[in-house]
Amino acid sequence: MSEAREKLGTMLYLNGVSVSFDGFRALNNLSIIVHPAEMLAIIGPNGAGKTTMMDIITGKTRPDDGDVYFDGRTDLTKLDEAKIANLGIGRKFQKPTVFESQTVWDNLVLALKKPRGVFASLSYHASGADTARIEEILATVRMTARKHDLAADLSHGQKQWLEIGMLLAQDPKLLLVDEPVAGMTDSETVETAKLLKEIAKTRSIVVVEHDMSFVRDLGSRVTCLAEGSVLAEGTLEQVSANPMVIERYLGR
């Protein structure tokens, strides 16, 4: 099958991506494909290249080699962060990154999918639909009661939820979610899995996570990375039964 045909119909297409930092090969011939409305969970030991992969997809880091395509046709290696975000790729960071000195509401206003230009922002006035959408997101991430609080005053888990809410507000086609349940209680973790599964009905999601019970809850395809390339792929059962994965990540 030719490469072009292979890319066609994928939401995210990474082929042979490599990148080195000061001689350290963070990604080594990494190839990953995510289809529309599909969830992919990525597991792997620290330093496997999970975050670097997200940096490359979102334009923060340029790969030394390899192809990165979005929606089967857009070459992401040529674009910067803002352009990539506006194509419809949303990212939630490992360390929850919200705008601390602004309210929960304003964080969502900033994220809401609207023209991003300077003058468009200057003259922006929230329409009824915008307000309703933000209320809806607040209800989804259960933060309605805290909408007027500063983001800095939220607990770690709540910041995670706010950031997921911001992702929803961006209305992306592809969500990159880095360790969404770190710092969450068990019940919050279960809720997050439910929410992500709901989102994955219409969008593509890549979730990086260490919490195995959470990954099990997601019930998605799993890829295990190690040393910058794919170690194993398949269902969680298949991957966690793989002797190499046990050796290098899960432990005996």
Partner 1 sequence: MITQMLFRALDRKTAWVALLILIAAAAVPLANLYLPASNPLHVPDYAVPLFGKYLTYAMLALALDLVWGYCGILSLGHGAFFALGGYAMGMYLMREIGPRGVYANPILPDFMVFLNYKALPWYWNGFDNFWFAALMVVLVPAALAFAFGWFAFRSRVTGVYLSIITQALTYALLLAFFRNDMGFGGNNGLTDFKDILGANIQAGTTRAALFAASGIALALALLVCSMIVNSKLGKVMVAVRDAESRTRFLGYRVENVKLFAFVVSAVIAGIAGALYVPQVGIINPSEFEPANSIEIVIWTAVGGRGTLIGPIIGGILVNFGKSIFTGWLPDYWLFALGGLFVFVTLFLPKGIVGTVTGLWVSTRRRPVVAAAEVLQPEPEAAE
Site residues (CB under 8 A) for partner 1?
A: 58, 60, 80-82, 85-86, 91, 93, 97, 99-102, 106, 109-111, 116-118, 121-125, 149-150, 152-153, 166, 170
Shortest Å, Cβ 245 to partner 1? 31
Shortest Å, Cβ 101 to partner 1? 6
* Per-residue tokens: 174: 């592809």
Closer to partner 1 by CB, 150 or 212: give it: 150
Shortest Å, Cβ 94 to partner 1? 12
Closer to partner 1 by CB, 32 or 169: give it: 169
Nearest of 30, 10, 49, 42 to residue 221 by alpha carbon: 42
Shortest Å, Cβ 8 to partner 1? 26
Shortest Å, Cβ 70 to partner 1? 14
Shortest Å, Cβ 115 to partner 1? 10
Closer to partner 1 by CB, 1 or 129: give it: 129
Closer to partner 1 by CB, 1 or 122: give it: 122
Closer to partner 1 by CB, 64 or 81: give it: 81
Residue 161: burial class (beta carbons within 10 Å; 0-12, 13-18, 19+): buried
Closer to partner 1 by CB, 85 or 182: give it: 85
Shortest Å, Cβ 232 to partner 1? 30
Closer to partner 1 by CB, 41 or 109: give it: 109
The 3 state secondary structure assigned to the chain is CCHHHHHCCCCEEEEEEEEEECCEEEEEEEEEEECCCCEEEEECCCCCCHHHHHHHHCCCCCCCEEEEEECCCEEHHHCCHHHHHHHHEEEECCCCCCCCCCEHHHHHHHHCCCCCCHHHHHCCCCCHHHHHHHHHHHHHCCCHHHCCCEHHHCCHHHHHHHHHHHHHHHCCCEEEEECCCCCCCHHHHHHHHHHHHHHCCCCEEEEECCCHHHHHHHCCEEEEEECCEEEEEECHHHHHHCHHHHHHHHCC
